[in-house]
């Protein structure tokens, strides 16, 4: 994959890549999501998004028991 293919341009591309709705996008930005508003559009690099998502989804507190798939 070329370097330019890793850059997402626009809120729609970024939300599609992250599978997050556009209504939650401002919340992500407020939490430090790695995107910039530049040249009239949001831009983000997929490597930065992947790294941020891995870090953001690491449990920081006591583990809670999650329901089994069969009982959910």
13 falls within a domain:
yes
Q: Which domain holds residue 30?
A: 3-56
Q: Can you give the pLDDT at residue 64?
A: 60
65 falls within a domain:
no
Is-contact 15 35, C-beta < 8 A? no
61 falls within a domain:
no
Q: Lowest mean pLDDT: which of 11-15, 40-44, 64-68?
A: 64-68
Q: What is the pLDDT of residues 22-61, one digit of tens each?
A: 999 999 999 999 999 999 999 999 999 999 999 988 877 6
How many domains does one find in the chain?
A: 1
d(CA 8, CA 17): 8
Q: Can you give the pLDDT at residue 11?
A: 96
Cut 0.85: pTM above it:
no
d(CA 28, CA 34): 9
27 falls within a domain:
yes
42 falls within a domain:
yes
Q: Can you give the pLDDT at residue 17?
A: 97
> Tokens for 21?
């709705």
d(CA 54, CA 34): 12
d(CA 68, CA 72): 6
């Amino acid at each position: 994959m070329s370097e330019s293919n890793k850059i997402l341009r626009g809120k729609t591309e970024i939300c599609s890549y992250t599978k997050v709705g556009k209504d939650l996008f401002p919340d992500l930005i407020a939490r430090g999501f790695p995107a910039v508003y530049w040249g009239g559009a949001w831009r983000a690099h997929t490597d930065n998004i992947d790294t941020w998502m891995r870090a953001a989804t690491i449990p920081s507190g006591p583990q809670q028991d999650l329901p089994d798939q069969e009982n959910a």
